[in-house]
Amino acid sequence: MNTLAKVVSVSCLLICSGYAYCQNPTVDLYVKEIKPLFKKRCFACHGALKQESGLRVDTVESMNDHEIIDDELLERLTSDDNSHRMPPEGEPLTQAEIDSIKKWLAAGAPGPKNEQAEADPMEHWAFKKIKRPAVPKLGHANPIDAFLAHKQKERGLKPQKSARRSLLIRRIYLDLVGLPPTTDELRSKKPIKDIIDSLIDSPQHGERWARHWMDIWRYSDWYGLGDQLRNSQKHLWHWRDWIIHSLNNDKGYDRMIMEMLAGDEIAPQNLKTVAATGFLARNYYLFNRTTWIDDTIEHTSKAFLGLTTNCAKCHDHKYDPIDQEDYYRLRAIFEPHHVRLDALPGQTDYNQNALPRAYDDRPNAPTYIHRRGNPAQPIKDKRIHPGVPKFLASFAHKPTPIKLPVEAWAPGVRKYVQTDRLAKAEAKVTAARQNLKLAKRKLAQATNSEKTKSVGQALADDFKKSRPKIWQTIGRGWRYQGGLLAQTQPTTERSCLRTEAHHPRDFDLTLKFQTTGGKTWKSTGIRFDADKSGENAHTVYASAYASGPKVQLAHTIAGKTIYPTDAKSNQQIKLNQEYTLNVKVRGDLINISLDGKFLLAYRLPQRRNGSIELFAFDSTADFYSIQVKPLAAEVVLKNTDRRAATIDSGKIVDLAKAQLKLAEAELAVLKARIAADNATLRGVGNGSPKTAGRLQLQMALAQAEMDLLKADASQKAATEKRQAKALNALKRGKLPTYSQLRGSQRALDQGTHKASQYAPVYPKTSTGRRTALARWITHRDNPLTARVAVNHIWTRHFGTPLVDTVFDFGRRAPEPLHRELLDYLAIELIESGWSMKHLHRLILTSKAWQRSSSNLAADQQTLTSDPENHYYWRMNNRRMQSQVLRDSLLYLSGRLDQTRGGPPIKPGPNVRRRSIYLFHSRDGRDKFVSAFDDADVFNCYRRRESIVPQQALAMMNSREAVEAARQISARLGKDQSDFAFAQSAFLQLLARTPSGSEMKACLSFLKANPNRVLFIHALLNHNDFQVIR
Amino acid sequence: MTSNSFISRRQYLLHSAMGFGSLALGGILAGEERAKPDGQPHFRPKAKRVIWLFMRGGVSHLESFDPKPALNKFAGKSISETPHADVFNPKHFKDLRVVVVDDANGKDRKTIYPLQTGYKKYGQSGMEISDWFPHIGSCADDIAVIRSMWTTDNNHGAQVQFHSGRHMLDPRVPTIGAWINYGLGSLSDNLPQFINIGPRFFDKRDGHYLGPAYDAVNLKVGSKNSLDYAVPHGSMNKAEQREILNFTNQLNRLTSEQFPADPVLEARIKSYELAFRMQTAVPEVLDFKNESEQTRKLYGLDRAETRVFGQQLLAARRFSERGVRFIQIMHGDGAAGAWDNHSGLRKGHARLSKQVDLPTAGLLTDLKQRGLLDDTIVVFATEFGRTPGSQGADGRDHHPFGFSIWMAGGGLKGGVVHGSTDELGFHAVENPHYVTDVHATINHLLGIDPRRLEVPGYKRLDKDFGHVIHDIIA
């Protein structure tokens, strides 16, 4: 059969003079259907990449050589036995496909003449070392133009002329700094090169280009549920600011990669460098370590190397020479690493600010291949060692462990951490001291006023008019109106009418009032025994609180108020209903009635001389009259034993003392811990862990003491037990191991963990694996890194990439049309010290980049033969990126806040910072920015440019656009004629003057609509405002 | 793929008299690096659109479309004491993938919890449906219930999974609505193709690597601001807006003197026209004033408990009539979704089913009487079922191993029950279906071959495509 097949095919080929002219339909069938099918389903294992069982099926000849073109082929393709059937993965071939193969076999399995076998994977263009190509000698100053001109010439294409100067200036501004030029800048006579140079060196350049790299490197602020961090890290903006800073300083791209992957290893003392590892910290995922590392591997590979190593997680890569073990070798590089927040100078609260960073946490954690990518099935009989994909490993570095300085593995010993903690503890002591002073003073006041005796004055007022001799008014909203006193502004601040004179000690008070409204509590009533400060008084009030209206007696002693639950009477207090409240007090006994009905009797915890106050708390109220007279001796009060829990002023002083003692103990412990840390960890001074341990016990005692003062009965026993234990330990000298100072907070391994359960110190050495990886990625011989970077940069300047699959330079990416240009630029990047600014200058000063983007007056033949502009005979039009659009609106309105750096801002229509500083995560992003193809935080190697009606709605109706139209219109001034106005508006917004027909349209619109805001609004909606021409 | 394709697409736009009726709304695209589908089905479709009702939180299959008398029989017993102890055999759990360990674990609820409501047979088919869904029951002969669904996430990430086919721990991929939006052309010039109403699940995006243009457009039914940015900020009135729009378009057209043959410019002009129409059209669709009293009643607009969902479903019908392809309605507030009755299941499910039962039946009836059900697919789904065993005193836990959904309408059989769970309702045993089988069935009915929509660089796995459930197809 085999021989026969060969004979048949050969005879066929004898008849036909090559496949292109071949009339043999069976060869056709093979070429058009069967071979593509084999390519899709079989080549991965039986082609150039791999030859499972030594078999290749990429040519008929090799199939014949392996004698598979027989019944076995069909049998293997159609077997019901899954372990036997080919292909082993995915769906079996369809019946139609099998039928075609049968037909082909029946015809003798002919193949075309000179059939090409699949090329050696290492011959793939992107896997070959980059060499500097010779620049075509066509007299071009800029090599980019030389390469493009060479290709254009071959095809007979004629490039467009340079763009109009004002449009070009706008293009430069939007490209390099992401903000449009002012009209002065548009009219500038400076040479284009100088404009480019000055913009590249402006700080806004970093802000513009950082956003591009943040797309590629998947910048995302944290997200989680409530306060629980689930993905990325809080304060990741430090990495964002590092990117901006690095770009502005033209840090080499190679150095940037080194710092992002291994900043903690190459510059462990420099937190500004360590901030770069935010690249790794971004992938943190609370719930699944494998997902976390998978993301790290996938996006490190795609972003820097243009390799889809992720396809080798479950099985060998189908297209590229990357096997599953390679994937787990990469995993082993990242296996030890973890994420933590390092404290930063001046801030001890990790929620406020800290530095998210990577570090090696488990240097010895083993890596195993996961069977079919399932982490539940590690293949434990083989430990996988760190390494890079073997096919490119010739220039790889072996990781060497890196000894870390003590500040890196024990961040608690950093000078500023110690100083900041000391300052905080000292401040606490100072505050406690002040608090004690205050408490003592209060106690003195309370005791003093107890001592003074005064008869007090009777009082009667019908509130027909203001009587300032009787009342002092405190707070706002009090009005004498319509023959009554009204409180008109509900407030929870201290607000009352207070008698200048003290009231009789035993008194009988009647108040007529109604509550007219308020917010929540709606309380109206009186205070007595009230001192000036408002810190001491008894209060009786009626509350119309919807969920529990009542009359309540409360005590305020030394600033603390208690509302005894047994000193209240639930009453249906209604709004706008008059009530008569009566309060009788004799000694410590009080009786309260409402509308003549007795409500409650109570024993007051203490008495003092003081004033009467009328008050409305959180309510509006009308007061009709008040009468206070001495309580007649014959009045009998209802007796009771009920008495509020005393707030003992003396106890307040005790508590303040205990607080001070505790604060001092904490400070002492802190000092001792620092001394012990310095001695044990850095070998400085003679601090002793023992002292620190003892002081820790003493602090525990101080804590217990204070807790006992505060504790209610239920906690008392436990606290006393704690106290006894500490005392005992202290007596026996059984000192606890002191806790080293924490200078960082480790990210959690699980949601149920607490950061405090992890050790405050970390491994003293880092594995050096990530450094080795970064050195390999940035090695001069790495064929991918520079090419991939150049392609990204080119895409963002020209709108179209040189290699379409920007994150996949593997074998699925065909050799690009402008391969020499790509390679040339890659070499330029490398040899300039990986200077991106060099590349920007080279590109922007090329004629290609400066060409007009219009088809106007284009050579007809050029238009027809390359309408898609593959040859860059004109510039491409691009829409402003979403961030640039928003920034431009604000900037042109004169409202852009150009503050640089810092924590992300919560988005919203009133925010005026540049868009790069807006919070940007899975759940939180700006609505306006989102409407214009914002970056997907999961994956955004290339921004899309959609045109959807929602964008039109946003530009038409959003607050952002409407406000911008108003402001821009105001800035252009109203003194100009319609003509002049139209001209300056066109220049400012579209960077050009209107043509004759455009001016005509403008003038007629302005005549019909004198409101120039509408005109500006229309220009903002103009295609050429949103597009970079 | 070269950039060839998108330019030729631009050209197409330019030379096809801007025939947007035949193109997806999100598809007026420039700068794409791939060939886009041409908006035509790959083969003859049986349906044109989808109304996708999704109950967030996990509806108990046991008390909805898969009632199990055995639960009453064995109530209070440990499953291990029943003849069904084998349901805990670890071999059944090999597909389970846990995001949060022990956060919610359906396989640990062992004490059988009896049915919390009764059930009876409905329609000619005698399909058994619980007493909480009597109105849907009355439509039994129009629906195809699938009682053998399974998924692999035991937590609410299963919502993402039900829509995308991928577990939360996998990379994010486009959802079924996004694929339909991507693959099929628009039937309307004025309305978005893919609408979401109600609370979204964790991911507020659908398009993912297809791009944000394929995200659902979020609409708020019963609100003045039904569509983002449809109401101008400040004092601008409709006439002024029209003025601005006309002038903008006039200027844009004049621009082509200087930038001739620019397809983006053409597309932009078109998008403004579309936007202007959309901001009028959407409120019009959501204005029910011309709906008869009878129709309002049908959807339960006259009752407090059914009004919200009823309005959303009535809106869905009105959008269907006007050519919207995929209308996704999410029911159940809260981070996890209201149906997540870990406790108080009887009270919770009784209340929630009351909200959806009558309006859903109303939708089916209304679509049918208008002849729309013939080419509209209605899906009633949830992310997973609930455990046969009790959780706490009166709840059921998450249950991904077997649960029910139903589909009705265009190209589907009515009155059929497909697949089954075991006697306890624990595992899907007969004709088990992974969630993407639902996607495959919808694609099939709409005439889409999803394998022809693949995007370079983003490999889809076999499981992403699923298998068409032929048994429920008419």
Mean pLDDT within A638-661:
80
**Predicted confidence (pLDDT) per residue in A89-128, tens digit:** 878 898 889 998 988 988 888 889 889 888 999 999 999 9
**Chain A environment of B12 (Cβ under 8 Å):** none
- Nearest alpha-carbon partner for A1016 in A956, A975, A958: A956
Residue B7 confidence class, pLDDT cut points 50, 70, 90: very low
Residue B1 lies in a domain: no
Whether residues B208 and A225 touch (CB distance < 8 A) is answered with no
Contact B257 A807 (CB under 8 A): no
What pLDDT score was predicted for residue B236? 86
DSSP symbols for A176-215 = HTSSPPPHHHHH--S-HHHHHHHHHTSHHHHHHHHHHHHH
For testing contact with chain B, the best of A93, A944, A999, A1015 (most B CBs within 10 A)? A944
Residue A215: the pLDDT is 97
Chain B residue nearest residue A311, CA to CA = B459
Q: Which residue of B has its CA nearest to A939?
A: B209
Report the range of poorest mean pLDDT among A425-429, B198-202, B288-292, B406-410. Answer: B198-202
Per the CB < 8 Å rule, is B26 touching A954? no
Q: How far is A954 from chain B (nearest CA, A)?
A: 5
Whole-angstrom distance, CA of residue A667 vs CA of residue A676: 14
Question: Above 80 in pLDDT, residue A11?
Answer: no
Q: Say if CB A524 and CB A534 are below 8 A apart.
A: no
- Residue located via tokens 């994956």: A939
pLDDT, position A829: 98
Highest mean pLDDT among A20-24, A75-79, A1014-1018: A1014-1018
Distance CA B116, CA B130 (A): 9
pLDDT band (50, 70, 90) for residue A208: very high
φ/ψ region of A918 (left if φ > 0, alpha if ψ in -120 to 50, else beta) reads: beta
Find, in chain A, the residue whose alpha carbon is nearest to that of B246: A1018
Q: Is residue B348 part of a domain?
A: yes
- Give dist(CA A565, CA A516) in Å, integer: 26
Residue B27 lies in a domain: no
B93 interaction partners in chain A (CB closer than 8 Å) = none
Q: CB of A222 within 8 A of CB of A339?
A: no
The residue among B251, B437, B460 with the most chain A CBs within 10 A of its CB, best to mutate, is B251
User: For residue B25, is it within any domain?
Assistant: no
- Tokens 């009726």: give the residue: B21
Interatomic CA distance for residues B197 and B177, integer angstroms: 13
Residue B354 lies in a domain: yes
A842 CA to chain B: closest CA distance, Å?
24
**CA A908 distance to own-chain centroid:** 16
Distance separating alpha carbons of residues A637 and A134, to the nearest angstrom = 112
pLDDT value at residue A968 = 97
Angle at A916 between CA A911 and CA A921, to 5 degrees: 90
pLDDT in tens, A537-572: 999 999 999 888 999 999 988 777 888 888 999 999
In the predicted model, is pLDDT for residue A919 greater than 50? yes
What are A755-811's pLDDT values in tens digits? 999 999 999 999 999 999 999 999 999 999 999 999 999 999 999 999 999 999 999
At residue A77, φ and ψ (nearest 5 deg) are: -75, -25
Query: Which phi-psi region, left, alpha or beta, contains residue B31 (left: φ > 0; alpha: ψ -120 to 50)?
Result: left
Taking the CA of residue B67 and the nearest CA in chain A, the distance in Å comes to 34
Distance from CA of A772 to the nearest CA of B (A): 28
Q: Do A956 and B7 touch (CB under 8 A)?
A: no
The DSSP code for A639 is P
Q: Do A952 and B211 touch (CB under 8 A)?
A: no
CA B250 distance to own-chain centroid:
40
| Chain B residues near residue A804 by CB distance under 8 angstroms | 1-3, 33
Q: Do B262 and A948 touch (CB under 8 A)?
A: no
Query: Is the pLDDT at A249 greater than 60, yes or no?
Result: yes
Contact yes or no for A159/A150 (Cβ under 8 A) = no
Residue type, A358: A
Could you read off the pLDDT of A473-493 as tens digits, one per residue?
998 889 898 889 999 888 888
Domain hosting B368: range is: 37-222+286-472
Structural domains of chain A, with CATH: 2-118 (no CATH), 162-222+886-1029 (no CATH), 232-403 (no CATH), 422-434+651-742 (no CATH), 452-647 (2.60.120.560)
Nearest to B211 among A870, A944, A1001 (CB): A944
| Interchain pair A950, B32: CB under 8 A | no
For residue A798, count other CB atoms closer than 10 A to its CB: 18
Determine the residue of chain B that is closest to A796 in CA distance: B31
Task: Please name the residues between 922 and 961 in chain A that touch chain B, using a CB distance below 8 Å.
Answer: 922-923, 927, 930-931, 933-934, 936, 938-939, 942, 944-954, 956-959, 961
Decide if B458 touches A, using CB distance below 8 A.
Answer: no
Per the model's pLDDT, the better-predicted residue between A619 and A605 turns out to be A619
pLDDT of residue A16: 41
Show residues of chain A in contact with B30, CB under 8 Å.
879, 945-947
Question: Which residues have CB under 8 Å from A792's CB, separation 6+?
Answer: A212, A216, A801, A806, A941
CB contact A40 to B (< 8 Å) = no
Say if residues A608 and A531 touch (Cβ distance below 8 Å): yes
Q: Do A1001 and B169 touch (CB under 8 A)?
A: no
Put simply, whether A1001 touches B (Cβ < 8 Å) is yes
Tell me how close the Cα of B26 comes to any Cα of chain A, in angstroms: 6
CA A854/CA A848 separation, integer angstroms: 13
In the predicted model, what is the mean pLDDT of chain A?
Answer: 92
Structure tokens of A314? 């479950």
Any chain B CB within 8 A of the CB of A94? no
Interchain CB contact of A9 with B (< 8 Å): no
Chain B contact present for A971, CB below 8 A: no
Mean pLDDT for A33-55 is 89
DSSP secondary structure, B71-127, as one string: HHHTTTSBGGGSTTGGGG-GGGGTT-B-SSTTTS-GGG--BB---SS-EEEETTTTE
- Which residue in A has a C-alpha nearest to residue B101's C-alpha? A287
Candidate from B32, B258, B279 with C-beta closest to A856: B258
What's the average model confidence in pLDDT over B166-183? Answer: 90
A749 CB-near residues (< 8 Å, 6+ apart): A289
- Per-residue pLDDT of B32-56, as tens digits, reads 333 456 778 888 999 999 999 999 9
Helix, strand, or coil (residue A421)? helix
- Measured in angstroms, the CA of B260 and the nearest CA of chain A are apart by 6
> Is the confidence at residue A9, as pLDDT, over 60?
no
B85-126 pLDDT, tens per residue?
A: 999 888 888 888 877 655 556 667 889 999 999 999 999 999
Say yes or no: B33 contacts chain A, CB-CB below 8 A.
Answer: yes
Please write the tens of the pLDDT for every residue from B13-33.
332 222 233 333 333 333 333
For residue B375, being part of any structural domain is answered with yes
CATH code: domain of residue B434: 3.40.720
Give the closest of A90, A856, A931 to B462, CB-based.
Answer: A90
Reading the block at residue A275, the tokens are: 């901030």
Please identify among residues 886-925 of chain A the ones whose CB lies closer than 8 Å to any CB of chain B.
922-923
| Residue B274 covered by a domain | no
Residues 107-126 of B with CB under 8 A from A: none
Residue of B23, B194, B247, B463 to mutate, interface with A, max A Cβ within 10 Å:
B247
A225 touches chain B (CB under 8 A): yes
The pLDDT, as a whole number, for residue A909 is 85
At residue B3, the pLDDT reads 33
Strand spans (E) along A687-755: 744-746
Residue B423 forms part of a structural domain: yes
How far is the alpha carbon of A1014 from chain B, nearest alpha carbon, in Å?
A: 6
Spatial CA neighbour of B433 closest among B407, B387, B401, B462: B401
**Tally of domains in chain B:** 1
pLDDT at B211 over 50: yes
Number of CB pairs < 8 Å for A and B? 219
Q: Which residue of A has its CA nearest to B208?
A: A936
Residue A972 pLDDT exceeds 70 = yes
Of B31, B203, B276, the CB nearest to A944: B31
Q: Of A237, A347, A400, whose CA–CA distance to A901 is shortest? A: A237
B245 touches chain A (CB under 8 A): yes
Scanning A794-833 for CB atoms below 8 A from B yields: 799-801, 804-805, 807-808, 812
Measured distance CA(B249)–CA(A962) in Å, rounded:
18
Out of A751, A927, A944, closest to residue B32 by CB: A944
Q: Which pLDDT band holds residue A449 (cuts at 50, 70, 90)?
A: low
With cut-offs at 50, 70 and 90, classify the pLDDT of residue A654. confident
Contact B385, B59 (CB under 8 A): yes
